[in-house]
Structure 1
Amino acid sequence: MGNVNLNVFFQEKRQLLSHFASQFTSDYDEKEDLIQETYLRALKSIHDFINDPKLVTWLYVIMKNVYINQYRKEKRKNVIYDYFLHADSSAYISTNLSENKMINEDIQKAIDSLSTENAEIFRLHLDGYKYHEIAELLQVPEGTIKSRIHMTRKALQQKLKMYDHA
């Protein structure tokens, strides 16, 4: 990487990254988060791309992946009740914030009661990772991942059956 000052480098790319972020969101704070996360991920391999003509494309792909992962995570969070209980969420998600907080705490306790390995696999799944991605990350056969997620979901349904209004 030589004499390249990373602070100067990223300041030079900030306007470009801001433009990229505008393609994903109009919210200022979300744009800033995307830019910062892109910086963090780019730092890991910047030495491989600093003089590469495809640097801009590489930064865009990083930002796009960050956005997609955040979207998947948020999407999963929004449907977690339905995911666990296979019921119409409008039937039991109350506007009462304290009730929602209690439900969230119960879900978290149920997840925390899992074995460390199954909890990790299930959290990755909730974060939006595909079966094959989890299998590759943990170096476990994809079939094993599928069956553990299935068994974990069934165990969580059993622990949270008090919320099943189907």
Structure 2
Amino acid sequence: MLVLLCASSVFSASAHAQWQWVDEQGRKVFSDRPPPSQVPVERIQKRPAGAHGKTTALPATHPTPELASSQPAGRSSGVDKDLQARKTAEQAEQAQREKAKEQEQERKLARTRQDNCARAQAAQTALNDGRLMAHTNTEGERGFMDDATREAERQRAQATIASDCGPASATTPR
């Protein structure tokens, strides 16, 4: 048992080994891994107990997480490029959907204007013929238009023709 206890204490001491050095920007870096090979020996301030004569450096192409966090903000943007690309694509899709929706609304408005124009022109033609025109009043009774009602309907048809038969304007649909 005593041998196992001694062996486990040796292994746990090596697990708590700490390296300490000063990076290029003058900041202290603490790690359980040795510094990269580009760090000069004179900048290493503390080594684990068993590593006095040797430095087992990590390759410079694989920085440790501690080194990455010690880099200045200017060198590492902290932006996930994949996330940014997906976000940009989603924004483009959203803009495209909104544009398609606006175009569909414009097409519906144009069809409505065209239908209103055709009905108003047909009504004006019928009103200008001079024939008797029948209509149904609010009580559901059938009656005939007098001259005043005919003129009012003719003016209403003319106003609809003026607003809906010309080029599209910024007016709201009826």
TM-score range, shorter chain: under 0.3
Query: Larger strand proportion, structure 1 or 2?
Result: 2
TM-score, length-scaled by structure 1: 0.22
Query: Larger helix proportion, structure 1 or 2?
Result: 1
- Look at both structures and tell me which one has the larger radius of gyration over its CA atoms: 2
